[in-house]
Amino acid sequence: MSETSVAPSKSKNPEHYSFMDRDALAKYTTDTGKIISRKYTGLTPMQQRKVSRLIKKARHMLILK
């Protein structure tokens, strides 16, 4: 069995995040759980879409609340 990347990504590039990177994705949400807009995060449109999808997937899997 090959070893897969189970540990959270140490990359600061949002394109390399996984839905399991709880601390990394928490930077892009408010205390109430809303996704912070691109205006404040400074991400490109493609990165913002990916981060939004990952946050929604993490919420669905009950990783983020």
CA distances, 20 to each of 7, 23, 26, 30 (Å): 8, 9, 11, 18
In a domain, 3, yes or no: no
Three-state secondary-structure class, residue 46: helix
In a domain, 23, yes or no: yes
Q: What is the DSSP secondary structure assignment for residue 36, as one 8-state letter?
A: P
Residue 3 or 55, more confident: 55
Q: Which domain holds residue 49?
A: 17-60
In a domain, 42, yes or no: yes
Please give the Cα distance from 22 to 32 (Å, whole number): 15
Residues 6+ apart with CB under 8 A from 54: 17, 18, 19, 21, 25
Q: What is the CATH number of the domain that holds 48?
A: 4.10.640.10
Residue-wise pLDDT for 11-54, tens only, equals 678 888 888 999 999 999 999 999 999 999 999 999 999 999 99
In a domain, 32, yes or no: yes
In a domain, 34, yes or no: yes
